[in-house]
Structure 1
Amino acid sequence: MRSSAEELSIGDLAAGFGLAPHVLRHWEAMGVLEPVRRVGGQRRYTSGHRLRVALILSAQEAGMSLERIREWVGAPRAERRGEVLAEHLAELDGRLERLRVARELVAHAVECSSGDALECPELRRILEKSVESGCHARATRGSVARD
């Protein structure tokens, strides 16, 4: 049995990452973080939970949703965990390509010498190229349509 000195309250664990405790409660509800035990109704975490919080934050920074993180860390086999990561990597590669095209478009519009970027033949060529390559196709998983 661990001593209470080795255990962290939800507030202590959250504060170590600059998070509010409700974030960790939400993660618990989503199935990506679980306290080691409860004492008098209060969640208790070990120092090992710091690594889990760091992993969740890193995965979110990489664009993973909590659902995907749960699927990844909760997979019973290493093979499935690898598949989840490969799927996410493919989505990141698609996003990077769309961002590359968007950046090329904006960079040209900023530097455009035609006087009106909306009438620029080069801008039109960039747009036609992006349509041909499918860069404007919406990803189906985890994407949000924007107005």
Structure 2
Amino acid sequence: MVKTIGEAAVELGIEAHVLRHWEQVGALTVRRDGNGYRVYDDTTLEQARTVLKLRRVGLSLPEVTAAMAPKKSTAQAVVRRKIAALESEVVHRQQAITFLQHTVDCRHRYLDDCPDCAHFVREA
């Protein structure tokens, strides 16, 4: 069953202009009918769901386009870079949580008086 851009957007939970933009930047391939209207079939909707999921896990549109490249090695390289970036972010977030938790539990009245806080502050 084919859908219009509006129907596809509703099904995906996004705005129609987002689908147009994805098509414009090459992240989504949409065929046209005889009148030039976009036609969203099951294959196109599945491709759009993939773009949406990749966007939601943090890939930029250029990364999405590369991750959906026909050449698997190209796609894998993009995804590996994103995994490394996310893992680095997790480490930084965990360090932030550790520091903040210490400030909550710290026995010193002022953070400047605490050698442990000073250590956290000096860390890169």
Please, what TM-score do these two structures have when normalized by structure 1?
0.76
| AA in 1 matched with 2:92 | R
Structure 2, unaligned runs of 5 or more: none
CA RMSD across the alignment: 1.6
Quote the residue 2:52 is aligned against. 57
Q: CA deviation at 1:68?
A: 0.5
Q: CA deviation at 1:22?
A: 0.4
Number of matched pairs: 124
SS of equivalent residue, structure 2 residue 12: coil
Please, what TM-score do these two structures have when normalized by structure 2?
0.88
Greater share of helix:
2
Quick check: 105-114 or 14-23, which moved more?
A: 105-114
Quote the residue 1:91 is aligned against. 85
| AA in 2 matched with 1:50 | L
Q: Percent identity?
A: 25
Quote the residue 2:8 is aligned against. 13
Q: CA deviation at 1:45?
A: 0.9
Q: CA deviation at 1:118?
A: 4.3
Q: Distance in 1 between matches of 2:43 and 2:99?
A: 46
1:69 aligns with 2:64: yes
> Which of the residues 94, 100, 104 maps onto 1:100?
94
